[in-house]
Structure 1
Amino acid sequence: MSTVRLRGVTAGYPGMPVLDCVDLMVAAGTTTAVLGGSGSGKTTLLRVVAGFLAPTAGEVLIGDRTVAGPGTWVPPEQRAVGYVRQEGALFPHLSVAGNIAFGLPWPRRRHRDRVRELLGLVGLSDDVGGRRPDQLSGGQQQRVALARALAPRPQLVLLDEPFSSLDTALRASTRDATARALRASGATAILVTHDQAEALSFADEIAVLRAGTFRQVAAPPVVYGDPVDAEVAAFLGDAVLVPGIAGAGQVVCTFGTLAVRGFVTHGRVEVMLRPEQIRLTPPGAGRVDATVLDIAYFGHDAVVELDLIDDATHHGIRARVAGVAQPSPGARVGLDVVGPVRVFPPT
């Protein structure tokens, strides 16, 4: 296990700067998800840590060792880093056991025990070891790729959107198996992803990357419940944003007077609610009334699109409700708000 530190790292490509003086620390034995949209710099950051791209400024440390910095450069093969790509990139001419054992430095007679251990670690049976990669499902291939990365006991494992090519069921099961394997091995890991749900469920900490800089680095409940600004709030999960006027620990908005979480600036603000904070009530029993416009059904829950009655601004309001019972489009309902809300300066 090793702590990973990026200090003032700037990197990019000729004529195209990407990372702008970023700082990040990943504690030993933990997983950090770097979350960002396309072009935010996620893959560039991973390439810098892996040693595939040299930073133009700043330094990278793995443990107590500087692997990139002014006058210092350690090549990728000497960094003790495991790398899992989006497609797994297994060697097609080798068996599963051969793929896993490929990077092992010790005598071949000891490979069998290590391969068996790793197959169990990623949730695969021993008989899989004799198969070829093309005889495995996509999820199994990604588990083998993880086992191969863990085989030489690296200080750090880098995961480059490893679940994005899998279908929904495989993605969830493979993600869970990967998380268990990383915890069992004690490895430090960095996952880059654009999937908010994946980052929230997988990582100990989330680093939100936007336009080459980190906007917020914190535990998943903090980033989701207390985002640093409205853009982070909207990016990390669904967010309902309405204008309001704040002061004295509360805010007045279209839902009435609400308690505010965190520091409150006085004056005009944007009020952020999560859809699960909005509860549907009988008409007249909530803070305001609304008309149901549409319903998106997901099985376990549903998102109800609403139009506030007697509200000239027609803010888009979304409430998340249990999937077993939803109102019909055109129905009139009341809306209530559960818990304190977050406010931001107006954009």
Structure 2
Amino acid sequence: MSEVRLRGVTAGYGREAVLDHVDLTVREGTTTAVLGGSGSGKTTLLRVISGFLRPGSGTVEVGGRTVAGPGVWVPPERRGVAYVRQEGALFPHLSVAGNIAFGLPWPRRRHRDRVLELLELVGLTADLADRRPDQLSGGQQQRVALARALAPRPELVLLDEPFSSLDAGLRVATREATARALRASGATALLVTHDQGEALSFADEVAILTLGRFRQVDRPTVVYREPVDAEVAEFLGDAVLLAGTAADGLVDCRLGTLPVGGPVPSGEVQVMVRPEQITLTETGTGQLDATVRAVTYFGHDAVVELDLANDAAHHPLRARVIGLHPPTPGDRVGVSVVGSVRAFPRGRTAAGTDLPVAEAS
């Protein structure tokens, strides 16, 4: 196990800067998910840590040892870092056992025991050891790739969107098996992904990366419930954004007077409400009345588009409800908000872009 520390790291390709003086700490034995869109710098970050790309400035430490910095450069093969790619990249001419044992430093007679141990660790059966990669499902191939990465007991495991090529069912099962295997091995891990649900469910901490900078790094519950600004709120899941006025820990908006969690700027603000905070009841029993405009059904839940009775402009509002008995378009419902909301100053985001001031989005 080992801690990873990046301090003031810049990196790019030619004259194009991709990472801009980033700081990040991945604590020993934990998993951090770096969440960002295309071009945000996710893969560049992994290439810097693994040693495939030299940073322009700053330092990288793995296990208390500086592996990149002023006057210091440790090549990839000496960093004790394993890299699991999106496509798995198994050797097609080797069996499962051969792939897992590839590169093991100890005598061959000990390989079989380690292979069987790792197959069990990643949730695969021993009878798969002699199969070729093309005889496995996509999820099984990714688990074998993880087993191969864990085989030499690396200090750090880097995962480059390893589940994105799998279909929905395999993706969830493989992600859960990978998380269990990493916890059981005690490995420190860094996952990069563009999937918000994956980042929130997989990692001990989530780091939001946009335009080469980290916007927020914290526990999944904190970054989701307490985003630093409206841009992060929208990036990390569905968010209803409303214009409002804040004072004394409360905010007035189209949903009524609501309590605000966290620091509350006085004056005009942008209010963030998660759709699952908006509950629907029988008409006349909620804080407000509304009419159901449309329903998008997902099975386990549904997104309900609402027209509030007190909104002459008819700006739609979104609520997320369980999918057992969703309403139908045209229904009259009561609307209430559960829990506290977030409030952000009107103006500019941390990225320097203007915040929208629409009544709802």
What's the TM-score bracket when you normalise by the shorter of the two chains? over 0.9
Cα-to-partner distance string for 1:150-181 (whole Å, 9 max, x where unaligned): 00000000000000000111001000000000
Q: What secondary structure does 2:129 align onto?
A: helix
Matches within 5 A, 1:195-344: 195-344=195-344
> What is the rounded CA distance, in whole Å, between the counterparts of 2:23 and 2:314 in structure 1?
41
Deviation at 1:286, TM superposition (A): 1.5
The equivalent of 1:63 in structure 2 is 63
Q: What secondary structure does 1:139 align onto?
A: helix
> What is the rounded CA distance, in whole Å, between the counterparts of 1:65 and 1:188 in structure 2?
15
The equivalent of 2:122 in structure 1 is 122
> What is the rounded CA distance, in whole Å, between the counterparts of 2:48 and 2:126 in structure 1?
36
Matches within 5 A, 1:160-171: 160-171=160-171
Cα-to-partner distance string for 1:173-207 (whole Å, 9 max, x where unaligned): 00000000000000000000000000000000000
> What is the rounded CA distance, in whole Å, between the counterparts of 1:122 and 1:325 in structure 2?
38
Deviation at 1:313, TM superposition (A): 4.1
| Alpha-carbon RMSD | 0.8
Cα-to-partner distance string for 1:239-260 (whole Å, 9 max, x where unaligned): 1110100010100110111011
2:209 is aligned with what amino acid? L
Matches within 5 A, 1:52-131: 52-131=52-131
Deviation at 1:235, TM superposition (A): 0.8
Structure 1 runs (4+) deviating above 6 angstroms are: none
The equivalent of 1:172 in structure 2 is 172
1:309 is aligned with what amino acid? A
TM-score w.r.t. structure 1 length?
Answer: 0.99
Q: What secondary structure does 1:2 align onto?
A: coil
> What is the rounded CA distance, in whole Å, between the counterparts of 1:315 and 1:163 in structure 2?
37
Deviation at 1:48, TM superposition (A): 0.5
2:203 is aligned with what amino acid? A
Deviation at 1:311, TM superposition (A): 1.3
> What is the rounded CA distance, in whole Å, between the counterparts of 1:189 and 1:284 in structure 2?
51
The equivalent of 2:41 in structure 1 is 41
Cα-to-partner distance string for 1:119-159 (whole Å, 9 max, x where unaligned): 00000011101000000000000000000000000000000
Matches within 5 A, 1:21-36: 21-36=21-36
What residue ranges of structure 2 are gaps of 5+ in the alignment?
347-354, 356-361
> What is the rounded CA distance, in whole Å, between the counterparts of 1:92 and 1:52 in structure 2?
24
Bigger Cα displacement from structure 2, 238-247 vs 315-324: 315-324
Bigger Cα displacement from structure 2, 250-259 vs 289-298: 289-298
What residue ranges of structure 1 are gaps of 5+ in the alignment?
none
Matches within 5 A, 1:129-140: 129-140=129-140
Deviation at 1:315, TM superposition (A): 3.3
> What is the rounded CA distance, in whole Å, between the counterparts of 2:337 and 2:7 in structure 1?
42
Bigger Cα displacement from structure 2, 289-298 vs 238-247: 289-298
2:13 is aligned with what amino acid? Y
Deviation at 1:294, TM superposition (A): 1.2
Deviation at 1:289, TM superposition (A): 1.8
Cα-to-partner distance string for 1:251-297 (whole Å, 9 max, x where unaligned): 01101110110111100001111111000022222222222111111
> What is the rounded CA distance, in whole Å, between the counterparts of 2:341 and 2:226 in structure 1?
9
TM-score w.r.t. structure 2 length?
Answer: 0.95
Bigger Cα displacement from structure 2, 314-323 vs 227-236: 314-323
Contact 1:242 1:315 in 2 (8 A): no
> What is the rounded CA distance, in whole Å, between the counterparts of 1:314 and 1:191 in structure 2?
42
2:337 is aligned with what amino acid? V
> What is the rounded CA distance, in whole Å, between the counterparts of 2:61 and 2:314 in structure 1?
51
> What is the rounded CA distance, in whole Å, between the counterparts of 1:84 and 1:195 in structure 2?
17
> What is the rounded CA distance, in whole Å, between the counterparts of 1:13 and 1:99 in structure 2?
32
1:237 is aligned with what amino acid? G
> What is the rounded CA distance, in whole Å, between the counterparts of 1:318 and 1:23 in structure 2?
36
> What is the rounded CA distance, in whole Å, between the counterparts of 2:14 and 2:279 in structure 1?
52
